[in-house]
Structure 1
Amino acid sequence: MLGGCATQVEGQAVPAANALDTSTAPSFSLPTTTPSASSSTELSVDVAVGECVALGGTVDDATIDYAVCGSPSSNYKVVDVVDASAMCPGDIDQTYYESFGGIEVGALCLDIDWVVGDCIDLGGEDPQRIDCGEPAVQGEEVTEILFDTSDVNDCSTSEGGFVYRERNFVVCTDTI
């Protein structure tokens, strides 16, 4: 809980510096990091590493709620909970942080909630889980998730995917 007077906690959603550019061919990130032992972060949303959230809103007025992983409302999985967004791995898809009095007080390091067999539309402000037969701006069907590789050519059935080099895994996808 944050203590203080006359200041409000504000949430921010900021795409990772190397987040997917939806105007180019796919190349994305998934394993979690070891939770930060020194983190004493208390955010307004109560989630742990491996749990999922529904993130929406705008960069300056983000909305975030707990969501069951793989559910229609879930769009991101928590990779780490840290004291500052700069502590997140470099290949995450999104960062959500909160500030108090203009100072960052905690952050969630987030990856898209990839689920094998599910489809995600990446063409909007935030990823959205969709039915695989549904029209999409930039739809991707997840065919497999490979660990201990950063080579999309290792995908057995897909011709493309999203590479997470720092954490060494690939999400194999087919464009729908």
Structure 2
Amino acid sequence: MNYWLFKTEPGCFSFDNLKNRPNMTEPWDGVRNFQARNYLRDTVKVGDLVLFYHSNIPQPAIVGLATVVREGYPDTTALDPEGEHFDPKSSPANPIWYMVDVRYLKEMTRQVSLEQIKANPLLEAMPLVNRSRLSIQPVTPEQGEIILAMGGTSLP
């Protein structure tokens, strides 16, 4: 099992939105960065743990846990000319963008804020701490365990 940090703006899609979806499952679509796309397409696997991170709010934080239930497949939102994630260069025969499906696991007992993460010297190598704007970021197992402990949360 690998650990990942998936960023989202709660005004667009929140952890509560995921919890309220049928089967508490949703495609993670709309990623339009090639490095993040490569992670979704090539590296994120079924069973991986997702640290669900709310960004672009006064106190950004990891708010919950999800799991990957479907590995990378073409992001169909890139094909919808009426959609906000449309990419005219993408086609069914030559998909450019990929998504995975994630399922809600549980809320963090205590949210782990960006401020707390930055203050922990054991987490200083995290992409999040180093101002990475990537919406999909790898997290080492050691970093993941530290974050779970900071949040008073155990794996289900």
Q: TM-score, normalised by structure 1?
A: 0.27
Greater RCO, CA 8 A, separation 6+:
2
User: Which structure has the greater CA radius of gyration?
Assistant: 1
Greater strand proportion: 1
Greater helix proportion: 2
